[in-house]
Amino acid sequence: MDERAVAQLAAVHDVLYDPQLVDDATRLLTEARRADVLIVRNRTQVQGALLAALGQCKLVGRLGVGLDNIDVSGCAAKGIQVIPATGANALSVAEYVMASAMLLLRGAYASTQAVATGQWPRNALSNGRETAGQTLGIIGFGSIGQTTARLAQGLGMKVMAFDAMLQPDAPVFSQNGVCFAGLDELVSQADVVTLHVPLVDTTRGLFNAARIAAMKKGAVLINTSRGHIVDLAAVAAALQSGHLGGAAIDVFDVEPLPANAALQDCPNLLLTPHISGVSLEANERVSFMIADKVLESLK
């Protein structure tokens, strides 16, 4: 949490701020018993023993958006309100998506080692694609999906979006100048597919081998949403076969991702450690949004 937001809370309340607490289960449970409010990122599992230990807690603040580390209905049953920082890191994720899309479509940026060692792979890198004119398919048209659409349109991309919770004529599509597309239509037509859905039963395994095979040849897949939504082995196979033109993966079934030989020599693959929503600016916005909501609820 941004330390100035911690200081804002500490000026009024008794605050224990300890980024290492998540790794000390015994102390975490002890401290949780006396907490009126718990503020977590994505690693702290607010369920099971920790949820049971929250004897007097009224609110869980989530420094981020995904709630898959929190037993939301279990919290509700105990009268604990759960507050995510919806929207506060959307721009950071959207910029990551656009940067990845541009790098992977163009395909010319992995040449540092070759150029520095006196090679000149100009011919091999001459078939990169421009971003303008390509079709971006957005799956999940919430806060991040909509922000990504705005950036993509600024770069001249055509944008189509699918959202399982929204009707095709929902105003949010036309208000953002975006075409609604069915899931199969989007997957078969988009040059870049980006995922912005929560991890729930209906999204688990959404991008399995069959769905990846249904993507356009040479398309790029970007997953900043959650692990378990994309089958990483299928992504690696599709990159190796040349069916996928590139992939950027920021989130994994298990984090940290254990060493994975199949991914190490995959062409056109960007792997990042769950960082797309984390930047100096986003951390500040997320932290102050949660601090303000906590102060408000404790008034």
Residues near ligand NAD (CB under 6 A): 64-66, 86, 89-90, 93, 139-145, 163-165, 196-200, 202-203, 224-226, 250-251, 274, 276-278
Q: How far is the CB of 153 from ligand NAD (least distance, A)?
A: 17
Nearer to ligand NAD, 111 or 153 (CB): 153
Exposure class string for 21-41: b at 16+ Cβ within 10 A, else e: eeeeeeebeeebeebebbbbb
The answer to whether residue 243 is catalytic is no
CB 42 within 8 A of CB 69: yes
Nearer to ligand NAD, 226 or 285 (CB): 226
Q: How far is the CB of 166 from ligand NAD (least distance, A)?
A: 6
Q: Which of 226, 228, 284, 296 is catalytic?
A: 226
Q: Which whole-number Å values give the CA distances from 82 to 36, 65, 98, 143, 248, in the listed order?
A: 13, 11, 30, 18, 30
Nearer to ligand NAD, 140 or 246 (CB): 140
Residue ranges of alpha helices (H) inside the chain are 3-10, 25-33, 48-53, 72-77, 90-106, 112-116, 143-154, 171-175, 183-189, 209-213, 232-241, 261-264, 280-297
Residue 38, φ and ψ in degrees, nearest 5:
-120, 130
Nearer to ligand NAD, 19 or 79 (CB): 19
The CA distance from 133 to 47, in Å, is 46
The answer to whether residue 255 is catalytic is yes
Nearer to ligand NAD, 84 or 245 (CB): 84
The CA distance from 144 to 176, in Å, is 13
Nearer to ligand NAD, 65 or 238 (CB): 65
Report which residue's Cβ sits closest to ligand NAD. 142
The number of angstroms, rounded, from the C-alpha of 185 to the middle of its chain's C-alpha atoms is: 23
Q: Which of 3, 255, 281, 296 is catalytic?
A: 255
Exposure class string for 123-146: b at 16+ Cβ within 10 A, else e: eeeeeebebeebbbbbbbbbbbbb
Q: How far is the CB of 5 from ligand NAD (least distance, A)?
A: 18
The answer to whether residue 95 is catalytic is no
CB 213 within 8 A of CB 182: no
Q: Which of 274, 281, 284, 296 is catalytic?
A: 274
Look at residues 147, 177, 183, 149 and name the one whose alpha carbon lies nearest to residue 165: 183
Q: How far is the CB of 25 from ligand NAD (least distance, A)?
A: 24
Active site residues: 226, 255, 274
